[in-house]
Copies of this chain bind each other. A is one copy, B any other.
Amino acid sequence: MKTPSSLEFLSEALRRLPGVGPKSAQRMAYHLMQHDRDGAAMLGRALNQAVERVHHCERCNTFTENPVCETCLDPDRDLSLLCVVETPADQLMIEQTLTYKGLYFVLMGHLSPLDGIGPKDIHLEKLIARATDGVVKEVILATNFTNEGEATAHYISETLKARGLKVSRLARGVPVGGELEYVDAGTIARAMLDRRAT
């Protein structure tokens, strides 16, 4: 008795999703084939489309379907402020506080030497080029207040201060060990106002 190879291939491919082990991959594959072929076809299309169309913004590094994202092209932004975040979700949280009108740089991660994630992986060269464009006056570090986020903030701070930039960090209104994505907007707003030079 052999599992059809297309079904095996599907189970294998589903394991590429974070947090999906062999058992749940098989369950997902069977579920799609048995109960939701439309969903399977839709997910297939969505994946192909995303791989084809989604790229990184030339300026802020976030995900976009255009060369430069909408935020970076927004004429109402304060070009002198650059806020550095780990992920697009973190940027969204800060936007929702309505306390910040500058621009962003999205690292798409944080430094984590033990996992082999170094400066190159968080696009540090791109950030340096962006921050030293002569227009940015202050870089606000809004990485998470986890160990990795703090270490990342420290590393970026040293790198940018060495190039003569003013660098600040969100105030510790954000709970220590907390991840921005899960913090209420009010706390983040206060932390933004209380940001301190580093």
Given A18-B31, A26-B89, A34-B109, A4 contacting B54 (CB threshold 8 A): yes
Residue of B nearest to A16 (CB): B39
Q: Inside 8 A of A3's CB, which chain B residues have their CB?
A: 63, 88, 92
- Say yes or no: is A114 at the interface (Cβ < 8 Å to chain B): no
Q: Are B44 and A7 in touch, CB under 8 angstroms?
A: no
Q: How long is the Cα–Cα vector from A143 to B48 in the complex, in angstroms? A: 38
Prevailing SS type, chain A contact patch: helix
A54 to B18, CA, bound (A): 25
Docked CA distance A92–B7 (Å): 15
Chain A interface, number of residues (Cβ within 8 angstroms) = 57
Contact of A160 with B by CB under 8 A: no
**Can you tell how many copies of this chain the complex includes?**
2
Given the known interface contacts A1-B91, A88-B3, A92-B1, the answer about A50 and B33 at a Cβ–Cβ threshold of 8 Å is yes
In chain A, residues 87-118, which have Cβ atoms closer than 8 Å to a Cβ of chain B? 87-89, 91-92, 95, 108-109
A74 to chain B, nearest CB (A): 9
- Residues of chain A touching chain B, judged by Cβ–Cβ distance below 8 Å, are 1-7, 9-10, 12-14, 16-19, 24, 26-34, 36-37, 39-54, 63-65, 70-71, 87-89, 91-92, 95, 108-109
Task: Please determine whether A54 and B6 come into contact, CB atoms closer than 8 angstroms.
Answer: yes
Whether A49 contacts B6 in the complex (CB less than 8 A), given A13-B43, A33-B54, A43-B17, comes out as yes
